[in-house]
Structure 1
Amino acid sequence: MSAIDGLPPLREVIATHGLVAKKSLGQNFLLDLNLTAKIARKAGDLTKCDVLEVGPGPGGLTRGLLAEGARRVLAVEKDARAMAPLAEIAAHYPGRLEVVNADALEIDPLEHLTPPIRIVANLPYNVGTELLTRWLTPPSWPPVWESLTLMFQKEVAQRIVAQPGSKTYGRLAILAQWRCDARIVMELPPEAFTPPPKIHSAVVHLTALPEPRFPANAATLQKLTATAFQQRRKMLRASLKGLHPRIEDLLESAGIKPTSRAEEIGLEHWCALARALDAA
């Protein structure tokens, strides 16, 4: 793809700018431009969208997004060393790439974006889950973004799409699936990255639903599932007893056996229990 966009191969970019991946920033660079273009395509038609990218590094995915026709890309990068190579990409695509040198956890990217908005990122491993949680819990729903196409450690990706009864099922699955369609669309081995991480990676695509699958108060649902999964091996009548003196009655009213454990309960019943708690 370097021949398509006329920019140098990423290994050359990294060598030129001394951009060695930093473990402290959770950096593992994906240098195969065919793979970064494939990830960009997993986000769908971007020609009428602004795209938020977090942690672009040397710009492999950035180039994929722009080459695939993204209307405009806002790239938020904490590492000041990446500013020069990203500026070269911005010059190659006049008016279509804005680069902000900042911590993605500390800025409001909406000031720089015009809907419709999609978020596409090879997230730094050390902030990926926190960013996802923030994007899934805005003050109101539907959110400003249409979809999230995000690379995580494979284990985190599996937690997002997990079903009741599995070892990976927990709060993250409930939070994601309550308000989104979530699926793993791509898997990548360690050797696809520089330096190779010790784990496999996967890309998850989440599409925002117009409204949550089942009615529930978001804060109540989060508190409820946090309490339950902190002690996931305990029966719910024990792990949730601090939430209400009549918790066994509330569990039964929501169609849940008090002797059940957190990982056995599906989304619909969690939402029913959240409503019962609020009513009580």
Structure 2
Amino acid sequence: MTTVSAAHPTDPAPASFARDWRAWHDERDRSLAAPHGFLAITSMRWLTPEPTRFEDAPGTWSTDEDGTVLVELSDGETLTVDGEPLPRRHRFTGLPDGGSVSAGSGDLVVEVARRGGRPVLRPRNPANPLRTGFTGTPAYAPDPRWARPGRFLPFDAPRPVTVGAVVEGLEHVLTAPGEIEFAIDGVTHRLTAFNGGRPGALFVLFTDATSGVTTYAANRSLSIAPPDAGGRVTVDFNRAVNLPCAYTDLATCPLPPRENRLAPAVEAGERLPRGRGGTA
């Protein structure tokens, strides 16, 4: 197997590197603390055919045999989607697995989603104590040595990869276009990479020797910019982030595939949140 050099030929100056990382990390914390972000989730309700009311969401909710979500509003209850009021009886149809729709009711947002083929409801309230008490995510100090040069090794064709989830019995199917190869202390590693949020971008789910010690046990995620024409990428573990499940049990985050469990301690990126035992 080819060994990728551990030294990065274009390491930025430490001051600018730290400044850029701090701006990124501050934006991450602002996003987490958004009024209707993951810290605002107050419950996770797996819907059934039995019409049910919940204390933290308007309406009576149920699902039918094909997974369509139904809501019936009582007098004085309202929900809007994209600013348009819903009728008293409404069906959320065509919801793909992994997709969601946000329905608003005053300051409340109700997320209607499908995860692992199952319909789920997650109300989000800006007054949730997990959000109002959030003081930021601990992280390792930025270190240019953890910005590793790497290569993208594409598969002949993208592959569907089934991974577990933090919710027992739930699975996610992610599309993997290839692998990312890089080195730590002269030892070459490869991680299965999944499609990112924009064309050509990638992300990896991984654990390492810090997982369950100073970082969240189940997973961390790292976004990777699209490879250049030669397949070169930068694997910057300083920007490894927690998934929502690191902060709340009301999440359905995917787990890394077995081959993405790194043996070395990646002492970079986000650490355990304070509410999960983390420290600054």
TM-score, normalised relative to structure 1 = 0.27
RCO higher in 1 or 2 (8 Å CA, sep ≥ 6)? 2
Length-normalised TM-score, structure 2: 0.27
Higher helix fraction (1 or 2): 1
